[in-house]
Structure 1
Amino acid sequence: MNTLKRIMVGLDLTPMDGTLISYAAFICAELQIEKVYFIHVEKTLDIPQEILRDFQDKQLPVDENLRQMIASKVEPAFSGSNTAVEILVEEGSPLKTLLHWAKIKNIDLMLVGRKLRLRGSGVLAQKLLRTGKTGVLFVPETADPHLNRVLVSVDFSEYSEMALTKVLDSAMNRPNTKVYCLHIYQVPTGYRTLGMTYEAFDERMRGFAQDKYDRLLSKFPELRDRAELLLVRQEDEDDIGELVVMEAKRVRTDMLVIGAKGMTAAAHFVLGSVTEKILRHDMDIPLMVFKMETQEVGFLEALLS
């Protein structure tokens, strides 16, 4: 059963919206999404006169004009689609408003833009990832809608198993989609105390990973004919985010998927998680980050609700 039923797409009325709308239409068709919400948030709907001149119907309220502008781009992309579409135009703090509506609408996944050359810092998207409970799909402005190869970063924890569950549940109607399970490991510095060479202990670590992968296959038998284990060794000076992205590009994956660990309220302000390291290097591969549905965020959620 598909666990992704309702998605939300954040629009900012820039050229990035075109990529997001077309990618959302692709995802909705491929994953049989039931409903998609397109949302635009303005800090204030007291719009300057020079912008008002672009409105088709100056007699309508500002939010209605903005809704019409968005609908003119969304409706052609979803013509003939089985996915229900709703457009929201809201006033307020973008972060608080997006989190509020994601909760109200019981959203399973939020699509946000990942700008390369277009103007925009991407700070809002990362704040959504840090403070919200909803999974986030970062869509680069150069994204090409394909889903033939999916790479899932696994550490054999409950978080990576959760990510695999989401991927398999969503891709069951795509039996030809190849799934790569990427595991990055290190050789412990204490290998010498065991009287082993570096090469011998490296081989042991790879064997441990293979054993864990075999046990993983017993939980996900549908992986056997469509998945491949990729093992990459991380040296002390290596950036794990760069390693993940390099391997994703090597296998020409269409999407990179990770299961993000929950953080305490205090840790939300600490950079350096694997997810954020990947974001620093991943500029042109769609990145889907899933979170535990029961994960508690802490007092930040109360402040932002």
Structure 2
Amino acid sequence: MIAIDSMMVCLDLSEIDEKLVAFTRSICERLPVKKVYFVHNIKTYELSDDFRETFGDVDLSKEVEANIADIVAEQFAGGCDHEILVSEEPNTELMMADLVKRYKVKLTVLGKRMSGKSTGALGTKLLRILPCSILVFPETARFNIASVLAPIDFSDASLHALRLSKSLTDQLGLQLEILHVYKLPTQYFPLISEEKAIKKAEEVVNGRFRELQKRHQEIAGVPYLLVRAAGKSTAERIALQLRKGKHGLLVLGLKGNNPIPSLSLGSVPSKLYNMDINVPLWLVYSEEVIQ
């Protein structure tokens, strides 16, 4: 069973905060969550001279905390135990990473505005630095999740995400679909028949699925789909399947085995995060990777 002892919600005082807090409440209604931390960091060095001159010695932290408290009171009614944390640190990412370690946060919820409204720079940094799983909620997403898409590449990270997806769908009574995107070595066409290459590739992948189902009986009955990349990236094919299958949640595993932080996120999760997809994206680490 999936249970979350500690969850962090990153707020930025934008219009998405209300949706993010309401989404957090819906998580608490569906899953056992012990405590939620609503977090905001004030970068005081970014405040203009005009602001300082106009408002003088106003206690900005207290004002921000009061603003967040109003949103929480309105959108989190009936939620679990919670606390509001407002800080004034020069580096937001490091501050939040410290909170994750200090409060043993298992899941961070992060809002995402569409690309025309935001560069997504802070979100990308948080994905790379936070030592916990992250649930990204786009501003256009909905709360009523009925089905989950779990793409796998047969790596340990994707299999961990698949097992979590199966536990989640069993726990909440949701539908689950597994997706694998495969590519053909097109440099050998027309030396070999494209039709034969597709048939052979799908035979190999189907064999890997049969072996996977033998090792993990719990997913034996879960439907899976093979999709050829066919000139598109894996991330683009996943995004297309999301829209086609009308899924409400995308779950991806993060490897986290690269010693260089900027490279540890992986190309597919990074590309999907930067796309304007309309469903929540759950990026999960295994406990072994986090440790």
TM-score, structure 2 as length reference: 0.87
Find the counterpart in structure 2 of residue 12 from structure 1.
12
Partner of 2:289, secondary structure, is: coil
Q: Distance in 1 between matches of 2:108 and 2:184?
A: 37
Q: Distance in 2 between matches of 1:117 and 1:296?
A: 29
Counterpart among 76, 82, 87 of residue 84 in structure 2: 87
Find the counterpart in structure 2 of residue 145 from structure 1.
143
One-letter code aligned to 1:233 = R
Q: Distance in 2 between matches of 1:269 and 1:201?
A: 32
Q: Distance in 1 between matches of 2:214 and 2:61?
A: 52
- CA RMSD in angstroms, aligned pairs only: 2.9
Q: How many Å apart are 1:192 and its aligned residue? A: 7.2
Find the counterpart in structure 1 of residue 41 from structure 2.
41
1:103 aligns with 2:98: no
Find the counterpart in structure 1 of residue 184 from structure 2.
187
> What count of residue pairs does the alignment treat as equivalent?
286
Partner of 1:136, secondary structure, is: strand
Q: Distance in 1 between matches of 2:253 and 2:87?
A: 30
Counterpart among 52, 62, 65 of residue 64 in structure 1: 62
Tell me the alpha carbon deviations over residues 110-159 of structure 1, each in whole angstroms, 9 at most, x when there is no partner: 11111017743211111111122211111111111022111011011101
Counterpart among 205, 208, 212 of residue 212 in structure 1: 208
Q: Distance in 2 between matches of 1:51 and 1:8?
A: 33
- Percent identity of the aligned residues? 28
Q: How many Å apart are 1:33 and its aligned residue? A: 1.9
Find the counterpart in structure 1 of residue 153 from structure 2.
155
Q: Which consecutive residues of structure 2, in runs of 5 or more, have no partner in the other structure?
A: none
Whether the 8 Å contact between 1:114 and 1:283 is mirrored in structure 2 is no
Find the counterpart in structure 2 of residue 114 from structure 1.
112
One-letter code aligned to 2:156 = E
Find the counterpart in structure 1 of residue 122 from structure 2.
124
Compared with structure 1, are the counterparts of its residues 219 and 44 closer, same or farther at alpha carbon in structure 2 (3 Å cutoff)?
Answer: farther
Counterpart among 223, 230, 238 of residue 228 in structure 1: 223
Tell me the alpha carbon deviations over residues 191-229 of structure 1, each in whole angstroms, 9 at most, x when there is no partner: 779x9632123112212222222333334433344x320
One-letter code aligned to 1:212 = R
Partner of 2:208, secondary structure, is: helix
Compared with structure 1, are the counterparts of its residues 243 and 159 closer, same or farther at alpha carbon in structure 2 (3 Å cutoff)?
Answer: same
Structure 1, 39-48 or 140-149: larger mean CA deviation: 39-48
Q: Distance in 2 between matches of 1:110 and 1:265?
A: 22
Find the counterpart in structure 2 of residue 264 from structure 1.
258
Compared with structure 1, are the counterparts of its residues 179 and 136 closer, same or farther at alpha carbon in structure 2 (3 Å cutoff)?
Answer: same
Q: Which consecutive residues of structure 1, in runs of 5 or more, have no partner in the other structure?
A: 298-305
Compared with structure 1, are the counterparts of its residues 124 and 143 closer, same or farther at alpha carbon in structure 2 (3 Å cutoff)?
Answer: same
Whether the 8 Å contact between 1:114 and 1:141 is mirrored in structure 2 is yes
Whether the 8 Å contact between 2:256 and 2:264 is mirrored in structure 1 is no
Counterpart among 191, 196, 202 of residue 200 in structure 1: 196
Q: Distance in 2 between matches of 1:89 and 1:140?
A: 23
Tell me the alpha carbon deviations over residues 216-258 of structure 1, each in whole angstroms, 9 at most, x when there is no partner: 3334433344x320111113x3222111100111101101111
